[in-house]
Amino acid sequence: MNRRRNVTFAAAALACTAALTACGTETGSGKVGSAAPVTGVRWVPKNVTVDGEEYTPPSKSGAYVEFNPGRTDDAGGKSGGSTGCNHLGADVEIEGDTIKVSDIAMTARGCPDGLQQFEERFVEVFTGNLRAKVSEEGRTLTLTRDNGDSITLGSGSPP
């Protein structure tokens, strides 16, 4: 991480918890296409694929993501979660089969090696316009960037 990014994350970390509960306007139905909704579900990362290489979170990492569409005026909007080490917040818009992730704010504490590597890859992919696909039974959500990098998440317990 570069110094500017660390400063941004450190400043945003203070606002992250409040930003996750802040008000905003909802965009879209919370569904990807006609599939099951992605909102109201605690999604647990199964793996991240970057440049064809797969990264998995360490077992029992506690990593999760929740989607609450809308934007806030603060860094780290209404959606967010944890990579298992650091917490993050983001603005999310859901339109059709696209989930747009922007304005990410994240805490910046050091993580054990395996978790640090997974976190770096997760954050690398979890931004911008992501093509989203929910499995027919609604238990798996795959987010894919235009370059083919992806995150596969499984449904966990409700938030």
CATH number of the domain to which 80 belongs: 2.40.128.270
Distance CA 130, CA 108 (A): 24
This prediction has a pTM of: 0.75
Distance CA 49, CA 52 (A): 6
Q: How many domains does the chain have?
A: 1
Range of the domain at 91: 3-155
The 3-state secondary structure of the chain, one letter per residue: CCHHHHHHHHHHHHHHHHHHCCCCCCCCCCECCCCCECECCCEEEEEEEECCEEECCCCCCCCEEEECCECCCCCCCCEEEECCCCEEEEEEEEECCEEEEEEEEECCCCCCHHHHHHHHHHHHHCCEEEEEEECCCCCEEEEECCCCCEEEEEECCCC
Distance CA 86, CA 101 (A): 17
pLDDT tens across the length of the chain (159 residues) = 443 344 333 333 333 323 333 323 334 556 565 556 899 899 999 999 999 999 999 888 889 999 988 766 666 678 999 999 999 999 999 999 999 999 999 999 888 878 999 999 999 999 999 999 999 888 999 999 999 999 999 998 644
Distance CA 143, CA 130 (A): 6
Q: Which residue has the tokens 């992919």?
A: 125
Q: Sort strands 87-95 and 79-82 into parallel, antiparallel or unpaired.
A: antiparallel
